[in-house]
Amino acid sequence: MAAPELTVPDLEINRRITILPLQEYYTSGHRTCQGCESALVMRYMAKVAGPRTLVTGTTGCMYVANTSYNSTPWSLPWAHTQLGSSGSSAIGTSAALKALMRKGKIPDERINVIAFCSDGGGGDMGLATLSAAMQDTRYNLLILLYDNESYANTDIQASGMTPWGAVTAFTPSGKRQRITHHRWKKNVPALLMAGHPTGRYFANTSSGFGMDLMEKVRTALDMDGPTFVQTHDPCPKGWDYDPRMSHELAVMAVECGITVLWDCLEGELRYQGISRQQVEGKLRRRPVADYLRRQGRFAHFADEDIDFFQSRIDEMWEDWILPGVLRVNQTPFGPGGSRG
């Protein structure tokens, strides 16, 4: 029997997404926790990428919980890749496609290459490979980093992107020391953007803002060259809250200014939605206590810890040259955030 013909989603969604295709390419068959926002991110990502897409994913929840024996939610070609190798797998996959097309072994057509990773595999262990991928303009690729703020799959160890003070398996709160996680969260999209003027597109988004997320994935896939999108994803198991709060927490993180909706398209920095209103002074940021007090990982916080957290977020908004994005006075793009 002939294989059913694949339908290509309406590429009109390229510019602004107004009509979304009904087809899903990440469906049932996974075993992520109830309320897992990273699974939702995979669904959004696959939906706007469409069927002409190859996906690779590093070890982590979105590998392990998605590939139980004999079942998978992916209806796109998908391959697991080693924990720190997101960037290299994206380069290799894109290079292989290019070679096959050049040799005439497959039709010369647009095929999306997406490599996903999380904060542990991408933001810590695989940072060098992300850097390599952002430097190489020969290949079209998207790295999507789903930030659930811990090494979740191996039972919630602290990563370089775990928020200050959070309880994890590596950073418990004890009688002698209330706070044992002293590192401030690493800003990976800004780090990559600042150091890689060769990158065509960088974006930060959130699982709570599906349209923003899908638009950013689509924008990235429409570019030639390397692109990077990061998502902020509440994880009920690691953050210790009732799964029905997932969406609310994702939105609240943006309302409090803890994570910021921004992108940088060929050197032009832009803010979106709530974050844009906050940057323009039209909307006040919500107190971070509202967000912190809803999560078990911050339940040990004293008032002074909340005040410290708030002061660091205020600093990021009030003192940084690009609010919530970059703190340095000199960016590779010159004053005001645009390439001089």
Ligand X SMILES: Cc1ncc(C[n+]2csc(CCOP(=O)(O)OP(=O)(O)O)c2C)c(N)n1
| 73, 26 Cβ separation under 8 angstroms | yes
Alpha helices in the chain (DSSP H): 37-49, 61-64, 86-102, 127-135, 188-195, 210-222, 236-239, 246-255, 273-279, 288-292, 303-318
Q: Where are the beta strands (DSSP E) in 82-209?
A: 112-118, 141-147, 201-206
| Residue 32 near which of Mg ion, ligand X, ligand SF4, none (CB within 5-8 Å, type-dependent) | ligand SF4
Q: Which range, of 6-14, 30-38, 91-99, 180-188, touches ligand SF4 by CB under 6 A?
A: 30-38
| 279, 323 Cβ separation under 8 angstroms | yes
The first and second tokens of residue 118, run together, are 């999380």
Phi, psi (rounded to 5 degrees) for 67: -135, 55
Shortest distance in whole angstroms from residue 68 CB to ligand SF4:
12
Shortest distance in whole angstroms from residue 297 CB to ligand SF4:
12
Out of 39, 62, 167, 217, name the contact with ligand X by CB under 6 A. Answer: 62
| 201, 220 Cβ separation under 8 angstroms | yes
Q: Which range, of 134-142, 145-153, 246-254, 330-338, touches ligand X by CB under 6 A?
A: 145-153
Q: Which CB sits closer to ligand SF4, 38 or 88?
A: 38
| 130, 87 Cβ separation under 8 angstroms | yes
The 75-114 contact track toward ligand X, x by CB under 6 A, reads --------x-------------------------------
The first and second tokens of residue 312, run together, are 């660091």
Give dist(CA 206, CA 218) in Å, integer: 15
* Interacting residues with ligand SF4 between 145 and 174 (CB under 6 A): 148, 152
Length in residues, the chain: 340
Out of 60, 165, 257, 323, name the contact with ligand X by CB under 6 A. Answer: 60
Residues in contact with Mg ion by CB under 5 A are: 118-120, 148, 152
Q: Which CB sits closer to ligand SF4, 208 or 257?
A: 208
Out of 130, 235, 288, 316, name the contact with ligand SF4 by CB under 6 A. Answer: 235
Residues that bind ligand X (CB under 6 A): 59-62, 83, 118-121, 148, 150-154, 159
